Structure 1
Amino acid sequence: MLKAVILIGGPLKGTRFRPLSLDLPKPLFPVAGLPMIQHHIEACTNVPNLKEILILGYYPASDLAQFVSEMIQEYKINIRYLQEFTALSTAGGIYHFRDQIRCGNPEAFFVMNGDVCADFPLVEMLNFHHQKGDRALVTILSTEATRQQSLHYGCIVLDKDTSEIKHYVEKPSTFVSTLINSGVYLCSVEIFQTIAAVFNSRQQEYYDGGVNGRDTAVIHLEQDVLMPLAGTGRLFALQTNNWWSQLKTAGSAIYANRHYLELYRRRHQNRLALQVTESGDRKQCTVIGDVHIHPTANVHSSAVLGPNVSIGSGAVIGPGVRIRESIVLSGAHIADHSLVLHSIVGRGSKVGQWSRVEGTPCDPNPNKPFAKMENPPLFNSDGRLNPSITILGCSVTVPSEVILLNSIVLPYKELTRSFKNEIIL
């Protein structure tokens, strides 16, 4: 029997995802029409003999209650949300809920960071872990990055013959390896003994007066567990060439949206809008490439959507509207002949007639092999806003005949004019 643990953090995290996380917990932000962590849950349900999924975080339980209930109904699998009393970090949360994870005597459990978007090769990880036998305590899913970008991740030095991790450094100051930790793990239950040793040594330090006020229950999986395990013969890595990305900023949601839509084309074609002009007696909008339209959305037949567009529930797309490389959230209204490019339109927002909402794509450099999302800060060294996608928070009103370029608008704002390269507070 297997289990899975999805780590989602809490409301104090994900600040770079604002304003989209101001009215909705970041793990529930819809990417390609599904809440972000529903993609994790779906991947877990494809693993044979996986019986339970535990979601760990410190969001209030009420924030996730409805979502968990819907997921249990849809996937017919046991799912529970376990709320941490405070932020305990990756291994701290796992150790705190060790009894719930070990309940039922699973042979191993997956651990998945909630902000990772990927084509998760979980079955392949399981087979790889089994091949290593009792030696494997933890298997890390790894992927390749550029030399420069690798400094922002956990770096792995691998024995290519045995796949054993010889050395692991979290966010090194100098180049170590282009092989990086992708935030997906398969752990044998023995790992709790390793974490317990870390916890007990912290407790001892506390009573010896050497912790300097640090919470002894906060344990980092990467620094406190994986780094000491490297080179012991118990830590392995499975390298994948599948698509993988982190969802740290709102701009990375557009990139993730594109790739999940591409996966739908291969596995869930029923989730994509048909690329036809006639659907029975009703004329459908023009669809280019991969587009997801929620069944309750109202899209005019003269609108043109795609490629890589997601339209949320209850959204209204008017006549002559053109949308590409964008996410339109539930209840949004895009009025006649408006243009939306490289943007996220928040819940219940309204874009007037003949308006233009446009951002700048921040995709990985296509000329660099293994390049990942850069996730740049909002402002550059000159204090100016870095060009990025345009974001409308929830319930924003953009009047008719207005141009909004490379800007971020906080919720409940009513614009009166055009803006370029600004944050509208």
Structure 2
Amino acid sequence: MSDATNPDIPLAQRMRPASLDEVIGQTHLLAAGAPIRRFVEHGHLPSLILHGEAGIGKTTIAMLLADAVGRPFYPLSAINTGVKQLREVLDAGAKGGLDLAAPVVFIDEIHRFNKSQQDALLGAVESGDITLIGATTENPSFSVNNALLSRCQVYRLQPLDAAQVEDLLQRALSQDIVLSKLNIELNATAEITKLAHGDARKALNLLELAVQASDHSQQPIVIDNSLLASVAQTALQRYDKDGDQHYDMISAMIKSVRGSDPDAALYWMARMLVAGEPPEFIARRLVILASEDIGNANPNALLLADAALRSVKAIGMPEARIILGQVVVYLATSAKSNSTYMAINKAMQLAQKDQSPVPLHLRNGVTKLMQAEGYGQNYVYPHDYPNHYYPQQYLPDALVGTQFYQYADNQREQHSLQFMQWLQSQPQTKSS
């Protein structure tokens, strides 16, 4: 691309690939036989949603796809494009005013479009007046409406791995119009890879900053970890409290607790806290987890998690981290059971389909008319019998024998099972 010959623009822009074959990474989409490569080879380009972290090539790939199929490319940003401007582009596309071929309309950060803006795209995409390529760092399942998603192919782009970042850096050193003329000894590849977190733009920016900050009077120019640390200062947290990382990390924490790994659970929770996640959000999720994944295997788990939620709200950070740390370790090392979670789900599923009437003996006969109709008749008061128990029908006739709750194989629930079995085996003689 023409930017590659302009030494005054940033390195990341100079190194932007000029063809799909030059793209580093995303082989699951662009390699021979991969989905997007097949589209291009057949001269066809459907509407796409590309999602993934920043700096991994969404914009570049969109540009290269349009070029590969010979379509005009019209980029828009969801940050500064309103419905009026969007409709002007779509109307021009419908009239053939942009070009004879259906243009590729690229919308960066499409998740920032509200519902009305996203809805404005539907007709043009449906009719084929435009080919839409949307880019988002968010999970499109949460940020793009279903009507638009159903009209687009959705592809996840992956962060670059260590080998791909190294290839990127070596390509810059050997091919860039500026760096290729310098005698550079790069001894900080691993550190750049670590700080970049798979972000190609960040990796190239770090390399460029290090070269600019180095002593060019020394030959070769040595880029080592100490020089890199002086320009990078600290690794910025790749975390958006409203974005995909938010959901990914809380998911990782919950799965670590469920899997009884306290160290992993602490790590993911620490990542969220360091990045500024509100501690109340984490505490609420732990309350849910205590019931869903531990339940009656250890009823104290729910009590402790609930106490933590109230304490975190009252105290706040940084001290709230201590409370959350205690609860996460307690929950991770507790016995686990999802028996009550499964039971209520089964009951809810049946309740959506079944509308059985309440048996008369379980109804509350508060008026004479109700009593005359049989409300409350033949109901047996369990407290009048030994052990406060009397076997009688509580489910509707059509559901007698239905079981939602299955006792799990942990000590507490097995103890409850033994108690219930004993209770049901006792003679039923009314207390005096």
TM range (shorter): under 0.3
Greater strand content: 1
TM, length-normalised to structure 2: 0.27
Which structure: larger Rg? 2
- Structure ranking higher on relative contact order (CA contacts 8 Å, 6+ apart): 1
Q: Which has the higher helix share?
A: 2
Q: Provide the TM-score with structure 1 as the length reference.
A: 0.27
